[in-house]
Chains A and B, each alone.
Chain A
Amino acid sequence: MARLLMSMVLPASLTEPTSRDPPKMLTIDCPWCGSRDQSEFSCGGEAHIVRPAEPETLSDAEWSDYLFNRKNIKGPHAEQWCHSGGCRRWFNVIRDTVSYRVISVYRVGERPPEGGP
């Protein structure tokens, strides 16, 4: 998706490799900045955990579930990442916890793309 975004944002001459251009083979595609090295990012754990609107109406068990319980998925996993050494924006990443392959990235508030968990 980020590649699609980049092609919309950047002129073709910048997205096609030339001998002077840094190659586009880095690990995580920030939806705002493009492909960057993983060391610029920090992981915030499981994505799509919504804070309850009225916590005081929740039972202890329901609140604990929100607070402590995580899916611990083996395979494609939706995570929040922050481009903490860059634009400081949070976004979502679907990452395979077995192969570490980054399958897709999408912005906060967007639905997971096709093939997501």
Chain B
Amino acid sequence: MSSVNRLASGGRIDRSQPLSFTFNGRPYTGYRGDTLASALLASGVRLFGRSIKYHRPRGLVGAGAEEPNAIVQLGEGAYTVPNQRATQIELYQGLVARTVNGWPSLHLDLYALNSLVGRLLPAGFYYKTFMWPRPMWQRYEHYIRKAAGLGHTPELPDPERYDKINQHCDVLVVGAGPAGLMAALAAGRSGARVILADEQAEFGGSLLTVNAHVGGRPAADWVAGTLHELADLPEVTLLPRATVTGYYDHNFLVINERRSHHQGPGQVDPRISRERLWRVRAAQVVLATGAIERPLVFAGNDRPGVMLAAAVSTYIRRYAVVPGRRGAVFTNNDSAYQAALDMHEAGMEVTGVIDLRQQPEGELVEAVRSLGITVYTGHAVTGTHGSHHGLWRVDLARLNATANDILAQKGALPCQVLAVSGGWNPVVHLHAQSGARPQFDEGRSCFVPASSVQAERSAGACAGVVDLGECLAAGARAGQAAAADSGWNSPGPDLPRARSPAMSQMLPCWSVPDGRAEGHGGKKFIDLQNDTTVADILLAAREGYRSIEHVKRYTGLGFGTDQGKLGNVNGMAVLAQALGQSLADTGTTTFRPNYTPVTFGAIAGRNLGVQRFDPVRKTALHGWHVDHEAVFEDVGQWKRPRYYPCSGESMQQAVNRECLATRNSVGVLDASTLGKIDIRGPDAAEFLNRIYTNSWSKLALGRCRYGFMLGEDGMVMDDGVTARLANDHYLMTTTTGGAATVLAWMERWLQTEWPMLQVYLTSVTDHWSVMSVAGPNSRQVLEQVCAGIDLSADALPFMSFGLGQAAGIPARVSRISFSGELGFEIGVNANAGRTLWEAVMAAGRAFGITPYGTEAMHVLRAEKGYVIVGQDTDGSVTPVDLGMDWIVAKDKDFIGKRSLFRPDTLRQNRKQLVGLFSEDPARVLPEGAQLVNAPASERPVPMVGHVSSSYYSASLGRSIALALVKGGHSRMGGTVYAQLMDDTVLPATITGAAFYDPDNERQRA
């Protein structure tokens, strides 16, 4: 389609680089430098979307981040991005975009019927109507959401990469308009490290479109010169296409930099990430975020063709696009007169300027008058007429002196485009996110930054400054002061000359009167994206809503993807008037990050998938396990072999085989992942006495002991075996998952509570490779491997260790057993782990030595009734609950001891660890199953406990389970029932927890 509205010359587009693209399936052409919005406008497109509730046709309103209507689904397949503002999408060759709503098509939208019954759809309509009958909401919701229509998320994995980068700077300048450029220049010249970030591809902000000279040059030329100087300053980083989206505590700001979107998918150097999230700590922040024009709220203000005055100027001056052939202006202030001048200069017919004020008299007003354009002073627009393709005419009325009522209808004014301005809203979003509360300035009728909470200052239009020269000066001052506050002396920049036209006073107007009672005339839209009208706000006030936060949630005001950048202030003002209070008292809704939406990809960065989300830890024997086709499971960050299936074996078959081999001959387990903490110092024994529940004073050299660690609340926290290596030297083992927690826990007690104890802790988990050899033949296997150490029961009794050699490697051999069999743990330097492992496997071949994984380990220990902390305990279980009173020393204090004597921990009906035999020996109770005393069909059923561990035991030929049951220790022989979600009921008999060799004869052999 031809560019019917494109001017032959001017603008900042490159006419030598035409770009073709499609919108809703139709082909169009634009130029390098266009946005999707400007290219479509140039091609005569007026209809950009349907409104969310009434499905009214909507056109382009703005030219930047504030755009509420031109929301598109950009790109296709895996590259698609929903809900992008057409005004911020840089055009690229082959761009594909669609509107996000309109069904079955944008031009024929059946939901537009909602518009005909609009009076029946007031604020809160959905809450009031569809919540009844309640269960039906889930059915309505699907259709309501479909009708509401926003974009869809991509359904394919994102093929692009995203990066994060951390940066520190002295001064972060947000926004590269006149104030931001001067601030960056002032700070940069001092030598300070400066980051200048702007959301647009091109720096300059309003200077790219303003009709003014700066420093004796056209404004855009001054921008180019300034950027040259900034680029030459070594400590200044310029970040275009980078939106500062969040301002957090302690001057931590997040910047979303879009690096390759503007090149389109498939055109990009694969080494370049699509987006980059900058995490910036700034000593000082200068906010130069500018201002967004405030629309006027009048009847029929949502029709395609009603645009912000500054946007009209931007399309003409920056993109060389006229938004129509015939335009008019509707304003309450002087700045919009520039749109009339620009439309006139671009060859449009300007049919008039409608000004709410009785006597406007600024320079721009006079300039418009001198062109012979009629200025309708003291007039208002009270209605609009038009189609999908723009306006035909607007209704005029004469206003009274205070502009709160109309005196007479004055006929119609023809126009395709109505350029509207209700003043300016400074972009105080980041200032507010920093923790400050913007205040309403009655004189300037806008919210302006108040006193700073963090090290930030606002400069220029975002601080309510209108005059260009003042913006430049304020930016320079802010940049100089920010540099000084971060320790850098700036010589103070030379201020370029700039002159703005003298302006007359604006006339605040939040809802333009049309001579009808509110709610009876044409709809006056406040929030175009969410279809919130003046009548909706007034209804909320009538129904008793007082807080702006509640009104927001009731009416949807500011809830769109544009976060109310256009409508919020008008909505707050209408509410304030309805409540008879000031805007200052009404206040604003909370400004939250992000300023504009950020993709999930940017937030996730490279932390994707299991591999990159958390470190993966592998033992020194990992390669052997992989070679022997182990099935792995994650234990904390560790990869541990779960079982080693032979060909054709199921998991249960493999586990049965591994268990029986260990019980009957010999098995071997990689136990390297257990946490290991080296404890040294003259007070090490005393320290262990305080940390563990049992006594360590009398542990002899060369012996080991099992210990429980409690929280100060008396609950089991970790367990493990600790060996005494020397008088002042112990080696503690912890659970695999608890190693880091236990080290931090002990460090804290030593540093904060017991600094008088001389104890030194070192994590040595990764230094050792440990294998556990268990089974009646384990001694015979190891006698072939070990040298210099007597493995006999007399020389190396249960719970002792010896030093010697294994496969020629210096080794520590401990008589420890978690399986209940005769067992040895051999620890060697991790680098030699595989050598030892292979030597043991070779020596054990004659005995059918069988590697076993964590699953068999779990079964073997459950057969013995040994608990796993974190599986059979859950932070509410004491050693007494586990039936392990024997491990609790009576004659010393330790962490958590006093809590074992609180009324709650002494209760008789606490959940206690017991064994369970299911009535059907073949049926394995599900872990986590809730236990009841009697099955019941009525819910809730009183629950008396749960199954914590449950397996099929090949050694016993039946299923076994461990469970926590209320008062379980005194219920031996009793029956409980596992009642499952599907009402299956599995009876089970309570028994002791030790199922196998309860007298522990085998492990002492």
Residues of A within 8 A of B (CB): 16-17, 19, 22-23, 25-27, 37-38, 44, 50-51, 54-56, 58, 60, 63-64, 67, 80, 82, 84, 88-90, 99-100, 108-109
Residues 865-915 (chain B) with a chain A CB within 8 angstroms: 893, 897-899, 901-903
- Residues on A with C-beta less than 8 A from B897 are 55-56
- Report the Cα distance A37→B167, complex, angstroms: 11
Rounded to whole Å, the gap between the CB of A96 and the closest CB of chain B is: 11
Do residues B751 and A90 form an inter-chain contact, with CB atoms below 8 A?
A: yes
Q: With CB as the reference atom, state the residue of chain B lying closest to A54.
A: B893
> Closest 3 CB pairs between A and B?
A55-B898, A25-B283, A27-B250
CA distance A98 to B249 in the complex (A): 11
Question: Is the CB–CB distance between A23 and B170 below 8 Å?
Answer: yes
Q: Choose from B249, B748, B901 the contact partner of A82 (Cβ within 8 Å).
A: B748
**Residues of B contacting A50 with CB < 8 Å?**
753
Residues of chain B within 8 A of A26, CB atoms compared: 168, 250, 281
Q: Look across to chain B and name the residue whose beta carbon is closest to the beta carbon of A63.
A: B898
Contacts of B249 on A, CB cut-off 8 Å? 27, 100
Contact B168 A23 (CB under 8 A): yes
Q: Which residues of A contact B251 (CB under 8 A)?
A: 25
Q: Does B659 contact A (CB under 8 A)?
A: no
Interface string of B274-292 (1 = CB under 8 A from A): 0000000111000000000
Given A25-B486, A82-B748, also A63-B902 (CB < 8 A): yes
Residues of B within 8 A of A22 (CB): 168
Q: A82-B748, A90-B752, A108-B755 are in contact. Are A23 and B902 (CB under 8 A)?
A: no
Which residues in B have their C-beta under 8 angstroms from that of A19? 191, 193, 234-235
Number of A-B contacts (CB under 8 A): 75
Question: Interface extent on B, as a size class?
Answer: 35 or more
A44 to B744, CA, bound (A): 11
Residues of B near A51 (CB, < 8 A) are 712, 753
Residue with the greatest number of chain A CB neighbours at <10 A, chosen from B487, B744, B752: B752
> For the complex, what is the distance from the CA of A67 to the CA of B191, rounded to whole Å?
53
Not counting A25-B170, A108-B751, a sample of 4 additional A-B residue pairs whose C-beta atoms are within 8 angstroms of each other reads: A19-B191, A26-B250, A63-B899, A88-B747
**A residues near B168, Cβ cutoff 8 Å:** 22-23, 25-26
Given contacts A51-B753, A90-B751, A109-B755, contact A84 B744 (CB under 8 A): yes
Question: Would A60 and B748 count as touching, CB distance under 8 A?
Answer: no
- Do residues B435 and A23 form an inter-chain contact, with CB atoms below 8 A? no
Chain B residues proximal to chain A, CB less than 8 Å: 168-170, 191, 193, 234-235, 249-252, 281-283, 435, 453, 455, 486-488, 712-713, 744, 747-748, 751-753, 755, 893, 897-899, 901-903
Complex Cα gap A56–B453 (Å):
48
**CB atoms of B751 and A23 under 8 A apart:** no
Give Cα A43–Cα B490 distance, bound, in whole angstroms.
39
Pick from A27, A60, A108: contact of B902, CB under 8 Å: A60
Cβ contact within 8 Å between A67 and B488: no
User: A50 vs B752: C-alpha distance in the bound complex, in angstroms?
Assistant: 9
Q: How far is the CA of A109 from the CA of B752 in the complex (A)?
A: 8
Contact B435 A99 (CB under 8 A): yes
| Closest residue of B by beta carbon distance from A18 | B191
CB distance from A100 to the nearest CB of B (A): 5
The reply to whether A60 and B903 contact each other, CB–CB distance below 8 Å, is yes
CB contacts (< 8 Å) of A60 on chain B: these are 902-903
Known contacts A25-B283, A25-B486; A100 and B250 CB within 8 A of each other: yes
Q: For the complex, what is the distance from the CA of A27 to the CA of B234, rounded to whole Å?
A: 26
B487 touches A56 (CB 8 A): no
- Which chain B residues border A100 with CB–CB below 8 Å? 249-250
B281 and A37 contacting across the interface, CB-CB below 8 Å: yes
User: Which residue on chain B has the smallest CB distance to residue A27?
Assistant: B250
Asked whether, in the complex, the Cβ of A67 is within 8 Å of the Cβ of B899, the reply is yes
**Complex: A108 Cα to B752 Cα, angstroms:** 6
Q: How far is the CA of A82 from the CA of B752 in the complex (A)?
A: 10
Chain B residues near A109 (CB-CB < 8 A): 755
Chain B nearest Cβ from A81, distance in angstroms: 11
Contact of B250 among A38, A67, A82, A88 (CB under 8 A): A38
**Chain B nearest CB, measured from A35 CB (Å):** 10
Q: CA of A35 to CA of B744 in the docked complex: distance in angstroms?
A: 22
CA distance A96 to B986 in the complex (A): 56
B747 touches A23 (CB 8 A): no
Q: Report Cα–Cα, A92/B751, bound state, in Å.
A: 12
B898-A56 in contact (CB<8A): yes
With the chains together, A84 CA to B747 CA distance in Å? 11
Contact of B898 among A17, A58, A82, A99 (CB under 8 A): A58
Q: Which residues from chain A contact B753 at a C-beta distance below 8 Å?
A: 50-51
A80 and B234 CA atoms in complex are apart in Å by 41
Q: Complex: how many Å from CA A64 to CA B901?
A: 11
Give the complex CA separation of A56 and B902 in angstroms.
11
The reply to whether A25 and B898 form a contact with Cβ atoms under 8 Å apart is no
Residues of B contacting A89 in the complex (Cβ-Cβ under 8 angstroms): 751
Cα–Cα distance between A37 and B453 once the two chains are bound (Å):
19
Kindly state the separation between the CA atoms of A23 and B898 in the bound complex, as whole angstroms: 49
Can you name the residue of chain B whose Cβ is closest to the Cβ of A62? B898
Given A63-B898, A64-B902, do A23 and B748 touch, yes or no (CB 8 Å)? no
Bound-state CA distance A60–B898 (Å) is 9
CA distance A102 to B168 in the complex (A): 19
- Asked, given contacts A25-B168, A80-B752, whether A17 binds B712 with beta carbons under 8 Å apart, the answer is no
User: Which residue of the partner chain, among B488, B752, B903, contacts A17 with CB atoms under 8 Å?
Assistant: B488
Q: Which residues of A contact B713 (CB under 8 A)?
A: 67
Chain B's nearest CB lies how many Å from the CB of A38?
Answer: 7
Whether the Cβ atoms of A23 and B250 lie closer than 8 Å is no
- Complex: chain B residue closest to A44, CB-CB: B748
In the complex, which residues of chain A have a beta carbon less than 8 angstroms from the beta carbon of B486?
17, 23, 25
Chain B residues with Cβ under 8 A from A108's Cβ?
A: 751-752, 755
Alpha-carbon distance A106/B170, docked complex (angstroms):
27
20 pairs, CB–CB < 8 Å, chain A vs chain B: A16-B487, A23-B168, A23-B486, A23-B487, A25-B170, A25-B251, A25-B283, A27-B249, A44-B748, A54-B893, A55-B898, A56-B893, A56-B901, A60-B902, A63-B902, A82-B744, A84-B744, A88-B744, A88-B747, A109-B755
